[in-house]
Amino acid sequence: MGEKIQNIMENTETTYEFEYIKFLTENNIKEQLLPTEIKQQIGILKAAWGRYKKNPSAAMKNNLVKQDVCVSDLIADYVEEGIEEKKAEEVEKKEETPAPNPPSDDNKDVEQKKEGEVSSNIVSTPTSEPVNHPKVETPKAQTPTPSNNSISPEVAEMVVKIKEKLATNNNIISTKDLKAIINRPPAEPTQQVGDVKLRKVFLRSEYKLV
């Protein structure tokens, strides 16, 4: 980080190009869509830039560059977490999708019984006297309906741990504990794990039960 600041200082003697704006442009990210915490830091940076233009000094420029690099790093972390979160959600959806149910033994027995009944009703008769064979009723096989509430054992274990943390801390869980349980940075502003929905507490490293 020190080398990055030094490089910027060497190229900003008369003008200054914000690093975070270059990053947003290169990654096609709109500033108004960033999280509130990052937009607040951008507001502080812009205020520092206004003070520097009115009364420039080496100390103010150095502080300005540090703030700019800090904001750029926050945005980079936010983008990286978004990518990791998307991958994790895709994996979780695959784990929670119930597998198709194979034919049950009961259905196989019904089909075999039906075939036996049809065969037993086929009787050889003289051609001069046609015989009306009784109509065989074919029972309709019932397909078991898969449960919509099934979740993987791994997700169920996460839910239990999260609820234990919430119960001991007035429905609040720290970001650190949540990350350790789900094995990835939690999503912002909300994180869903099984039937538990959590929301990020403003300007605090905590999530609360919704």
Question: Quick check: is 171 in a domain?
Answer: yes
Residues 85 and 167 placed together within one structural domain of the fold = no
Cross-strand pairs, 209: 198
Residues 8 and 84 placed together within one structural domain of the fold = yes
Question: Quick check: is 71 in a domain?
Answer: yes
Question: Quick check: is 130 in a domain?
Answer: no
Which two structure tokens, joined as six digits, stand for 126? 């003289």
Residues 87 and 157 placed together within one structural domain of the fold = no
pLDDT at 190: 93
Distances in Å between the Cα of 80 and the Cα atoms of 76, 86, 99 are: 6, 10, 32
pLDDT at 116: 59
Residue where a domain stops, chosen among 71, 94, 117? 94
Report the amino acid identity of residue 129.
Answer: E
Residue where a domain stops, chosen among 94, 127, 144? 94
Residues 87 and 158 placed together within one structural domain of the fold = no
Question: Quick check: is 128 in a domain?
Answer: no
Question: Quick check: is 27 in a domain?
Answer: yes
Reported pTM: 0.36
pLDDT at 104: 60
Residues 11 and 82 placed together within one structural domain of the fold = yes
Backbone angles phi, psi at 208, to 5 degrees: -120, 155
Question: Quick check: is 72 in a domain?
Answer: yes
Parent domain of 41? 2-94
Residues 6 and 85 placed together within one structural domain of the fold = yes
Question: Quick check: is 67 in a domain?
Answer: yes
Residues 77 and 160 placed together within one structural domain of the fold = no
Question: Quick check: is 121 in a domain?
Answer: no
Tell me, letter by letter, the H, E, C secondary structure of the chain: CHHHHHHHHHCCCCCCCCHHHHHHHHCCCCHHHCCHHHHHHHHHHHHHHHHHHHCCCHHHHHHHHHHHHHHHHHHHHHHHHHHHHHHHHHHHHHHHCCCCCCCCHHHHHHHHHHHHHHHHCCCCCCCCCCCCCCCCCCCCCCCCCCCCCCCCHHHHHHHHHHHHHHHHCCCEEEHHHHHHHHCCCCCCCEEEECCEEEEECCCCCEEEEC
Name the domain count of the chain. Answer: 2
Q: Average pLDDT for consecutive 10-residue bins of the chain (210 residues)? A: 49 68 90 90 90 86 90 90 76 70 60 59 51 58 49 91 94 94 92 93 89
pLDDT at 146: 42
